[in-house]
Structure 1
Amino acid sequence: MENSFDNNKVAVAQLSAAERVAFYKKTYAHVAGGVLLFFLFEFMFLQSASIVNFAVSMTQGYKWLLLLGGFMLITNYAESTALKTTDKNMQYLAYATYIFAEAFIFIPLIYIAIETTNSTALIQQAAIVTLGLFAGISSIVFITKKDFSFLRSILSIGFFIVIALIIAGTLFGFNLGLWFSVGMCVLAAGSILYQTSNLVHEYTNEEYIPAALGLFASLMLLFWYVLQILMSRD
């Protein structure tokens, strides 16, 4: 990842220990804020039967591919905007837009999880497991101080394979199954390592919003597949 520098930007690795801690706190506060906004959006969506029915209908056949394509376009817009602009308002708008899109694409999964158990128990369990894994994986970077930027090419190849499998599964009507979800959890764990490594080694002191966006995206990917694994038990 290439970062442009100006007089106000200093690489996090070059900051004092106190300044680095302040940057990390600011970044993770924005991740936590993103999670809260995600669940607020999700709660609002689930109050509307028409929105839920529309979102569920988009999981059928080629519509699911269209939904995923739209989500990837929004993801690309949000990430590029958050990184390229120095306008904090635009960065927040990009982050909020991404969270909104994430909440929408989660509607069918959250709805089915609630309907299956007639409660939010599965969602709560998945949230606890996800946060525990996220904290544990992130701590590896801070403890070891290693640079995991080498994972970028591995993750890129992995995500291309995943996209191909999802397209094939949709077009030919086969279920990717439990082991696909397990594999995606491994991929999400790698993404968390990579994004946390960027937080330590690549970002500048002014880039806490794009840093939070990257971590939030990896967190939600892990949450999606942890929830799917828990749902597969029933």
Structure 2
Amino acid sequence: MYSQNDLVSRVSQVEQAEFFKKTYLHVAGAILAFVMVETFLINFLPENLIFTMLGGKYVWLFILGLFWLGSTLSNNLAFHPSQQKQYLGLGLYVILEAIIFLPMIALATVYSDSNVIMPAAMITLFMFSGLTAVALFSKTDFSFLRTIITIGGFVSLGTIVAGALFGFNLGLWFSVGMVVLASGSILYQTQQLKEQYTTNQYVGASLQLFASIMLLFWYVLRILLSRKD
């Protein structure tokens, strides 16, 4: 078991630097693994099978439900005392993200003459880098974002479910709002790395950051795709 003395905020600067290094290396590794899994799935799964994920409102709601359950399991595993289970949780979450992204990436490949995937990835990377710098070096206390993120998460989930059930388009401004929510989550999580995590929880910390990055990427990609309609 971990003690309060293991908190990143209570260890030396050298140990803190090592924690941050491990965390962000694991985030980079998760992103690389996502790209590899997504590339494999896109190349080897039949296109009609991929698009059946969007074949009906109940199909997509079922997939979202499985994603939520799998995400909960992944998070629990990522913070397990056993390092093997931590990596199992992170690996499972990478696979879940690759599956949930399948129809979006497949749609994006339609615009291969003016690819939107790479611009979306670069925008996400620049935003993440900028938000990380602000969170780490700014003296602003972003703890107030916790309540906003929690409420925003429930509201957005309800809106997504309602949109799937009743078939209305969530539109551009919903995507913009989700980009703002994901950005706030990155700010909050980055600043809280010292306060919430112990020195041995870099795998779990990386999963949390990776999840927010993928949420940001999802809605940046949606915005770019909407401009191609």
Normalising by the residue count of structure 1, what TM-score does the alignment of the two structures yield? 0.92
Partner of 1:19: 15
Distance 1:119 1:139 in 2: 34
Deviations 1:78-121 (A, max 9, x none): 112212x1111100001000000000110100111011x12582
The answer on whether the counterparts of 2:135 and 2:191 sit within 8 Å (CA) in structure 1 is: yes
**Is 1:134 aligned to 2:131, yes or no?**
no
In structure 1, C-alpha distance between the alignment counterparts of 2:70 and 2:130, rounded to whole Å: 29
CA distance in 1, matches of 2:200, 2:142: 21
Contact 1:114–1:120 (8 Å) recurs in 2: no
Q: Which AA in structure 2 matches 1:161?
A: V
Deviates more, 1:38-47 or 1:9-18: 9-18
**C-alpha contact (below 8 Å) 1:55/1:104 kept by paired residues:** no
Matched, 1:31 2:27: yes
Give, as a single letter, the amino acid of the residue that structure 1 aligns with 2:2: F
CA change 1:149–1:77 in 2 (3 A) is farther
1:58 corresponds in structure 2 to: 53
Identity %: 45
CA distance in 1, matches of 2:45, 2:3: 49
Distance, in Å, in 2 between the alignment partners of 1:120 and 1:39 is 20
- Tell me the residue number matched to 2:71: 75
Does residue 1:180 correspond to 2:174, yes or no? yes
**RMSD, aligned CA:** 1.7
Q: TM-score, normalization: structure 2?
A: 0.94
Determine helix, strand or coil for the equivalent of 1:204.
coil
The code of the aligned residue for 1:144 comes to S
Aligned residue among 87, 105, 116 for 2:100: 105
Structure 1 CA distance for aligned equivalents of residues 210 and 138 of structure 2: 22
**3-state DSSP of counterpart to 2:149:** helix
Specify the alignment match of 1:199 in structure 2.
193
Deviations 1:124-176 (A, max 9, x none): 10111001000111111211255533322221111111111111111211101
- The answer on whether the counterparts of 2:37 and 2:98 sit within 8 Å (CA) in structure 1 is yes
The runs of 5 or more residues in structure 1 that have no matched partner are none
Q: CA deviation at 1:6?
A: 3.9
Alignment match of 2:39 (pick from 25, 37, 43) = 43
List structure 1 segments (4+ residues) > 4 angstroms apart after TM superposition: none
Amino acid at match of 1:10: D
Work out the CA distance in 1 between the residues paired with 2:112 and 2:218: 19
Change (3 A) 1:98 1:179: same
Match of 1:5 among 2, 18, 31: 2
Provide structure 2 residue ranges, at least 5 long, that are not aligned to the other structure: none
Q: 1:42 to 1:188 in 2, by over 3 A?
A: same
Bigger mean CA offset, 27-36 vs 72-81: 72-81
The whole-number CA distance in structure 1 between the counterparts of 2:139 and 2:93 is 29
State how many pairs are aligned: 227
